[in-house]
Structure 1
Amino acid sequence: MSIPLRLSALALALAVLFLAGVGVGSSFIPPERVIAALFGAGERTDGIIVWNLRLPRVLLAILAGVALALAGALLQRATRNPLASPSVLGVVDGAAVGVLVFLFAFSDSANLLQVSVLWQPAFAAAGAGVFALAVAGLVWRDRGDPMRLILYGVALAALANAAVVLMLIVGPVYRSSQALIWLAGSVHQAEWRDVAIVSAAVAPALPLLALMARPLDQMRLDPLSAFATGLRVELTRAAALLLSVYLAAAAVSVAGGIGFVGLIAPHAARLLLGTAAGAQMLGAALLGGAIVSGADLLVRAAFQPLEVPTGAVTALIGAPYFLFLLTRVGRTHA
Structure 2
Amino acid sequence: MKRKLLVYGGVGVLLLAVSVVVSLSIGSAGISLRDVWSILLYRFTGLEFGGGTWSEGEMAIVTEIRLSRVLLAILVGACLALAGAGFQGVLRNPLADPYTLGVASGSSVGAAFLILLGLQTAFGIWTIPAVAFTTGTLTLAAVFWLARTKGAMAVETLILSGVVLQAFFGAFVSFMVSLSQDTVNQILFWIMGSLAMRSWEYVYLLVPFLAVCLPVLILYGQPLNLFVLGERHAAHLGVRVERTKLVVLLTSTLLTAAAVSVSGVVGFVGLVVPHLLRLLVGPDYRVLIPLSAIGGGIFVLWADTLARTALSPREIQLGVVTALIGAPFFAYLLYRRKMLQGGAS
Q: TM-score range by the shorter chain?
A: over 0.9
Distance in 1 of aligned mates of 2:198 and 2:248: 29
The CA deviation at 1:280 is: 0.5
Give the aligned residue type for 1:80. R
* Cα pair 2:112 2:190 within 8 Å, conserved: no
The equivalent residue for 1:106 is 118
Q: Mapping of 1:1-334 within 5 angstroms?
A: 3-25=5-27, 26-30=29-33, 32-33=37-38, 35-40=40-45, 41-42=47-48, 43=52, 45=56, 46-106=58-118, 116-141=124-149, 143-170=152-179, 172-333=180-341
Q: Aligned-pair distance for 1:324?
A: 1.2
d(CA) in 2 for partners of 1:214 and 1:37?
44
Task: Tell me whether 208-217 or 126-135 shows the greater mean CA deviation.
Answer: 208-217
* 95 and 227 in structure 1: CA distance in 2 versus 1, 3 angstrom threshold: same
Give the AA of the match of 1:7: G
Alpha-carbon contact 1:37-1:50 (below 8 Å) kept: no
C-alpha distance 115-243 of structure 1, shift in aligned 2 (>3 A): closer
Once residues 7 and 40 of structure 2 are traced to their aligned partners in structure 1, the CA distance between those partners, rounded to angstroms, is: 25
Q: What SS does structure 2 have at the residue aligned with 1:116?
A: strand
Post-superposition offset of 1:21: 2.0
Whole-angstrom distance in 1 between the partners of 2:237 and 2:169: 39
Identical columns (%): 36
Question: What do the CA deviations read for 1:200-256 (whole angstroms, capped 9, x no partner)?
Answer: 211111221232122122112112211110112122112111111010110011111
Taking a change above 3 Å as real, the CA distance of residues 29 and 129 of structure 1, as seen in their structure-2 partners, is farther
Any idea what the Cα deviations from partners look like across 1:156-195, whole Å, max 9, x if unmatched? Answer: 111111111111112x211011111222111111111111
Q: What displacement does 1:38 show?
A: 4.9
Whole-Å separation in 2 of the counterparts to 1:237 and 1:210: 14
Is the Cα contact below 8 Å between 1:7 and 1:283 reproduced in 2? yes
**Deviations 1:266-325 (CA, angstroms, capped at 9, x unpaired):** 011111211111210111111100111101111222111112111111100000111111
Q: Deviations over 1:44-84 (max 9, x none)?
A: 64543222111111111100000000000000000001100
Q: Does the 8 Å contact 1:68/1:248 carry over to 2?
A: yes
Q: Does the aligned pair in 2 maintain the 1:268–1:284 contact within 8 Å?
A: no
Which whole-Å CA distance do the structure 2 matches of 1:325 and 1:105 have between them?
A: 40
Q: Which runs of 4+ in 1 moved over 6 A?
A: none
One-letter identity of the residue aligned with 2:130: A
Alignment gaps of 5+ in structure 2: none
SS where residue 173 of structure 1 aligns?
coil
Number of residues of Structure 1 aligned to a counterpart in Structure 2: 329
Q: Is residue 84–residue 150 contact of structure 1 (8 Å, CA) maintained in 2?
A: yes
Query: Does the residue aligned with 1:83 lie in a helix, a strand or coil?
Result: coil
TM-score normalised by length of structure 2: 0.90
Q: CA separation in 2, counterparts of 1:117 and 1:265? A: 29
Does the 8 Å contact 1:198/1:251 carry over to 2?
Answer: yes
1: CA distance between counterparts of 2:253 and 2:178?
Answer: 28
Equivalent position SS for 2:144: helix
Matches of 1:11 and 1:28 in 2, distance apart? Answer: 26
The gaps in structure 1 that reach 5 residues or longer are none
TM-score, reference length from structure 1? 0.93
CA distance in 1 between partners of 2:23 and 2:277 (Å): 23
Deviating more after overlay: 137-146 vs 226-235: 137-146
Q: Sort the Cα spacing of 1:70 and 1:222 in 2 relative to 1 into closer, same or farther, 3 A.
A: same
DSSP-derived class of the 1:28 partner: coil
Q: Secondary structure at the match of 1:39?
A: helix
The letter of the residue matching 2:315 is E
Question: How far apart, in 1, do the equivalents of 2:122 and 2:245 lie?
Answer: 38
Q: Which amino acid counterpart does residue 155 of structure 2 have in structure 1?
A: P
Partners of 2:143 and 2:70 in 1: CA distance: 33
